[in-house]
Amino acid sequence: MKGLPSLERAVVVLSRFPGVGPKSARRMVYHLLRRGDEAILDLVTALEGLRERIRPCERCHNLSEGALCWICSDPSRDQTRLCVVEEPSDLLAMEKAGLFRGVYHVLGGRLSPLDGIGPDALHLASLESRLQAGGFVELILATNPTVEGEATAHFVAQLAESVVARVTRLAHGVPMGGELEYLDESTLYQALIGRRNFRFDP
Amino acid sequence: MKGLPSLERAVVVLSRFPGVGPKSARRMVYHLLRRGDEAILDLVTALEGLRERIRPCERCHNLSEGALCWICSDPSRDQTRLCVVEEPSDLLAMEKAGLFRGVYHVLGGRLSPLDGIGPDALHLASLESRLQAGGFVELILATNPTVEGEATAHFVAQLAESVVARVTRLAHGVPMGGELEYLDESTLYQALIGRRNFRFDP
């Protein structure tokens, strides 16, 4: 808005969020200004909390408020199964599914040579130490099914195969509730490759 | 996320924004944490800027960074036409349309007795002083076409009718690019009431 640099600045900063365009950012700013000082302070306090208290788990690089995250510090988790994910948000998605009771390793991204993200930019050294320390019977690759994610999975598999008995990856296939008609070819291709007996005994 | 109160707090505060649900709020938080300290500080600085520098224009209650907003301090605006809107965002919408070259009065809301918003909660006293000071030849009511907005328009019209020669309101009708088939009945009703000669000389 003409003559209101601080308002415009807030709009610019808020529109850096994924899925927030300049229009929604402006609506957010008006919302804050209408709700007043307290609403802005609430947000500032919450942001300072993020900045000051959230740090990576020393073992798995998940988000944490202590030295170890809530998974690494939970003795009931199965310490013999390791699931490798790209980001903390992927870990959260896995946890929501609820089946996996093992522990995680968060890579902090995926290999992407074009963006200058090589193996050194990911938490691979600490993964290797954890694997070398032994004790894992299975490593589950849960990187994203993108070109970079697949490349990352291959890289991690090579690290793991000599030390872990079983290296697996998430199944690709038809998503629950999805319709074949609207599914992309490569997913259908993967679903066909991965087909299982109808009477399946897990 | 279990064991991360500061993350959860940020999610709760961000989901107070209109149109931001818990899922997008969480995505926003992960985005900030991935981008790191600097991204969070940028946002904090922008918010502090809003809180410290934006204040209401002393004359029209539009958002401003000085005593008078950029419209009230612009000598080229027509000081004889006054447009009354509910919120600064409505003023901005009018400005984007670009036709109006007069000045504004921002009420800061609309009458809504059920929510305890009576005439005293709106900037009506300052509107009355401005009208009494004289010099206005037209007052344009640009409140929203809701029940409360219409009630507010009626209230303002009663204030103004004795001192301003012409009290008008925005036309209701078919929105440009809209299709009659999908238009609600009351808009079509208003469009019919407000019909004009096809060869219209403004």
Domains and CATH numbers, chain B: 6-53 (1.10.8.420), 72-197 (3.40.1360.10)
Cα–Cα distance between A78 and A57 in angstroms, integer? Answer: 18
pLDDT at residue A1, rounded to an integer: 55
Nearest to B46 among A13, A33, A52 (CB): A13
B96 lies within 8 A of chain A by CB: no
Report CB contact under 8 Å: B28, A17.
yes
Interface test with B, best of A2, A7, A71 (most B CBs within 10 A): A7
pTM score of the predicted model: 0.75
pLDDT at residue B186, rounded to an integer: 82
pLDDT at residue B96, rounded to an integer: 86
Q: What is the DSSP string of chain A?
A: -TT-HHHHHHHHHHTTSTT--HHHHHHHHHHHHHH-HHHHHHHHHHHHHHHHH-EE-TTT--EESSSS-TTTT-TTS-TTEEEEESSHHHHHHHHHH----SEEEE-SS--BGGGTB-GGGSTTHHHHHHHHT---SEEEE---SSHHHHHHHHHHHHHHTTT-SEEEEPPP-PPTT--GGGS-HHHHHHHHHT---SS---
- The residue count for chain B: 202
| Cα angle value B171/B60/A3 (rounded, 5°) | 100
Residue B97: count other Cβ atoms within 10 Å of its Cβ: 7
Give pLDDT tens digits for B11-44. 999 999 988 999 999 999 999 998 889 999 999 9
pLDDT at residue A194, rounded to an integer: 79
Cα–Cα distance between B148 and B111 in angstroms, integer? Answer: 6
Residue of A nearest to B37 (CA): A51
Cα–Cα distance between A48 and A29 in angstroms, integer? Answer: 19
Give pLDDT tens digits for A29-87. 999 998 889 999 999 999 999 999 999 999 999 999 999 999 999 999 999 999 999 99
Nearest to B9 among A7, A46, A92 (CB): A46
Report CB contact under 8 Å: A6, B50.
yes
Whether the CB-CB separation of B137 and B147 falls below 8 Å is answered with: no
Cα–Cα distance between B152 and B170 in angstroms, integer? Answer: 14
pLDDT at residue A2, rounded to an integer: 63
Amino acid identity, position B61: H
Phi-psi region of B130 (alpha: psi -120 to 50; beta: other; left: phi over 0): alpha
Mean pLDDT score, B84-90: 93
B63 lies within 8 A of chain A by CB: yes
pLDDT at residue B194, rounded to an integer: 79
Report CB contact under 8 Å: A47, B10.
yes
pLDDT at residue A48, rounded to an integer: 94
Chain B, residues 4-43, CB within 8 A of chain A, namely 4-7, 9-10, 12-14, 16-20, 24, 26-34, 37, 39-43
Long-range Cβ contacts of B35-40 (<8 Å, 24+ apart): B37/A51, B39/A16, B40/A47, B40/A50, B40/A51
Percent of chain A residues past pLDDT 70, beyond the cut: 96
Nearest to residue B169, comparing CAs of B152, B183, B185? B152
Which chain A positions have a beta carbon within 8 Å of B64's beta carbon? 3-4
Q: How many beta-carbon contacts under 8 Å exist across A and B?
A: 141
Paired sense of beta strands B63-64 and B55-56, if any = antiparallel
Tens place of pLDDT per residue across chain A (202 aa): 566 889 999 999 999 998 899 999 999 999 999 888 999 999 999 999 999 999 999 999 999 999 999 999 999 999 999 999 999 989 988 888 888 999 999 999 999 989 999 999 999 999 999 999 989 999 999 999 889 999 999 999 999 999 999 999 888 888 887 777 788 888 888 878 877 777 755 5
Nearest to B50 among A18, A40, A89 (CB): A40
pLDDT at residue A200, rounded to an integer: 58
Beta bridge partners of B117: B112
Give pLDDT tens digits for B98-147. 889 999 999 999 999 899 999 999 999 999 999 999 899 999 999 998 89
pLDDT at residue B169, rounded to an integer: 87
pLDDT: which is higher, B47 or A99: B47
